[in-house]
Structures are given as structure tokens and as C-alpha cells.
Amino acid sequence: MQDTILDLESLRAAAGSGPLLILPHDNPDPDALASGKALAELFAAWGIKSDLRYSGLVLRAENRALLTLLTPEWERRIAYIDTTPYSAVALVDTQPGAGNNSLPADVIPNIVFDHHNPRRDALHDVAFVDVRPDIGATVTIIDEYMQAAGVEPDPNLATAMFYGLKTDTRGLSRGATEADVAVYLRLLGQIDHEQLIKIEQAGLPAEYFKAFAQGLGAARVYGRAIVAYLGDVHRPDLPAEMADLLIRLDRTRAVLCLGVHEDTLHLSIRTRPLSQDAGLLVQQVIVPPGKAGGHGMMAGGQVPLKGQDVGPLVAQITDRFLQVMGEEGQGEPLT
């Protein structure tokens, strides 16, 4: 493996003659969707065709609107993803060995772009790697390559990239660097504001409000930490959305939210600025055979249940979280 930054020749060589297969993490968020499409546009400028495929679900109203309106090139795949028709495979917003993507275990990707901790050992076998955990969003990294190659995004792509950067950094308030700020401000002048409004004001189903009511009822406060086990959830990213809300409670330093979707326990951690690094915290909390990653003030993970009782697993993860946070006791209901 050779770490490369803005090495356009090596990036192009790693793709081969095409077509290129681009894969994000499962249940992709706006940063993953926008980063993948941006990478496809970069290779298109070099005459290399790309196929964008994702696994899992895109159910959050805003994310679904972005997928439909701005990045419809993504195609959902439920079955095994065959990589043999492609000259190369690229992972965006994820890494081999992270446990949160559908790349077959026996396939080594040729290209990896990501901004999550930790850097996985499997990266040593990848031809082209740009993984920068200090950056707020993967879309910032991809944008640097586009600018170096003289490729400008059209309004739809610019809007998707802007929204991906905005959501991953919570409007530059979470883990944003000078590079993220520069991309954010430049894209702001290129976006389609009407499309952005449609995404940010996407309609919400009744299940959304029922799930949030359940989550607030489940939340328990342990000093300056909060834990909320949501039980069975109708979409895998609900713990992340709940964690985004609960971290805003006054004097809270960290939040752990958990929920079960399709025989997998999903967990999300959020921390406050100048508190624990969420990416390091989640590594202390996760239990085998689960995988987790993150950076700065946000992190997440998944543990396959394989039919086991989820109760003891949730208790074990909760105990680890509270021990790291220095909290104890039974906690108090939030509501």
C-alpha cells in the first residue's frame, strides 16, 4: 500500500480501464452518497465509467430525498455483489475490514477514500488509499481531487456534496477542519437552493414521531452521560438520529443509543467538543464480533446477533460505556 494525497496519476492507474465499481458503507448517509457520485464524476472526466451500488436501506426522510433528487445513479443491491465485471473496486466513506460494507470478504479493493477511525490493517493491501480521520467528511477529500483535476460539480452534485458535508459536521460545528470550511463555503455558491430546501424539509412519516417518543421514554441519564436502548427499530440509522438529539441535553458529555434492526444491534455514540473522542470511545465499548468506527464527536458500530439474546449484550455495552465515562448507578429517566 502507498499512502497518496492528490496523486491523480496513481488514482487513475488504480482504476484500470474500467468500469469501476463504487461501494459505500451499508445504509449510506449523505456523505457516502455524495462522495461516491463525486468520485464517479471524477473518473467520468477521465473516460472511465463507474457503477454505483449500495446495500442496506436509505430510509431517513432527508437521505431518501437526496438519493431520489440528486444521486439517482445509485442502485440498491440485495444479493451478493459480483465484482468480476470490473477493473477495480472503490470504497467510499468506509474501509475494508470495517464490517459495515458489503464488499465480499475475499475481494481487496483497489481504491479507498474515508475519514473514519481506526485505520484498518486491511488497508496495507490496497493500491490507492486516502484515509484522513482528521477531516470532517469524506466529500471534502474527494472534492480536493476534483479541484486538482479541474472537474467542477454541476448544481445537483454540488448540492449533494454540500449537504453531505453539512450533515457530517453538523453545519461545521462538529469535527470540521479548515479544509472542510473551505469546501463548504465554495460549494455554497454552487448549490441549487430549491433542491436543498426539498431535502431539508422532506416529509416525515408517523413512525418517525412514534419512534422518537419511544426513544425519549427509554433514555436514562447517568450524571453527564445518557444511554437509550430503543429496542426493535424500523430503520438502522434511528439510533444515530436519536443520539444527535440527546447530546444537546444541557451538561451532557456523551450519549450512547442502541437499537435492533434485522438481527443486528446498531449503536451510535455522540460526544461534546473537548470531551472524549467518539471514535476512540466506541472502540472501548464495542464487543466481538462487532465492528465500529468514527472520529471526533460521532461514532457507530454494529454487532451481529445471530439469534443470541440482546439483553445481556446491551447491558455489557452499557456497562463499558458508563465505566469509560466514569458514571455509575441506575440512572434517572429523562422523561
pLDDT band at 79 (very low <50, low <70, confident <90, very high): confident
Nearest to 11 by CA among 123, 90, 101: 90
* pLDDT value, residue 302: 94
Whether residue 2 is predicted with pLDDT greater than 60 in this model: the reply is no
* pLDDT value, residue 265: 97
Whether residue 38 is predicted with pLDDT greater than 90 in this model: the reply is yes
Q: What percent of the chain has pLDDT over 90?
A: 84
* pLDDT value, residue 5: 52
pLDDT band at 174 (very low <50, low <70, confident <90, very high): confident
How far is it, in rounded angstroms, from Cα 290 to Cα 190? 40
Average pLDDT, the chain: 94
Q: What percent of the chain has pLDDT over 70?
A: 99
| Domains of the chain by start residue, with CATH | 2-200 (3.90.1640.10), 207-333 (3.10.310.40)
Nearest to 131 by CA among 198, 201, 35: 35
Of 80-89, 172-181, 268-277, which range is least confident? 268-277
Residue type, 278: A
Pull the grid cell for residue 240: 444515530
Pull the grid cell for residue 190: 454552487
pTM: 0.88
Pull the grid cell for residue 134: 482528521
Surface-to-core class of residue 224, CB atoms within 10 Å of its CB (0-12 exposed, 13-18 middle, 19+ buried): middle
* pLDDT value, residue 239: 95
* Beta strand pairing call for 75-76 and 225-232: unpaired
pLDDT tens profile 262-300: 999 999 999 998 788 898 999 999 999 999 988 888 999
Four-residue CA torsion sign, 128, 266, 269, 31:
positive
- What would the DSSP string read from start to end of 272-299? -TTS--HHHHHHHH--TT-EEEEETTEE
Read off the pLDDT of each residue in 181-190 and give the average, rounded to a whole number. 97
pLDDT tens profile 140-155: 999 999 999 999 999 9
* pLDDT value, residue 313: 97
